[in-house]
Amino acid sequence: MKELKSFYYALRGIGHGVRHERHMQFHLLATVVVVCAGLWLGISRMEWCLVVLCIGSVISAELVNTAIERLTDLASPTRHPLAGQAKDVAAGAVLIISIAAAIVGGVVFIPYLI
Q: What is the CATH number of the domain that holds 30?
A: 1.10.287.3610
Mean pLDDT of 47-63: 97
- 62 is an active site residue: yes
Please indicate whether residue 3 or residue 56 has the higher confidence score (pLDDT): 56
Q: By C-alpha distance, which of 76, 59, 69, 73 is closest to 90? A: 69
The domain tally of the chain equals 1
Q: Round to whole Å and give the CA distance between 48 and 73.
A: 37
Of 61, 59, 75, whose CA–CA distance to 27 is shortest? 59
Degrees, nearest 5: CA angle 110-96-76: 150
Q: What pLDDT, on the 0 to 100 scale, is given for residue 3?
A: 80
Q: How does residue 1 score in pLDDT terms, banded at 50, 70 and 90?
A: confident
Find all residues with CB under 8 Å of 51, minimum gap 6, and list them: 34, 35, 38, 43, 104, 105, 108
- Averaged over 22-38, what is the pLDDT? 95
Q: Which of 21, 47, 62, 69 is catalytic?
A: 62
- 40: containing domain: 2-113
Q: What is the DSSP string of 87-113?
A: HHHHHHHHHHHHHHHHHHHHHHHHHHH
Radius of gyration of the chain (CA): 17
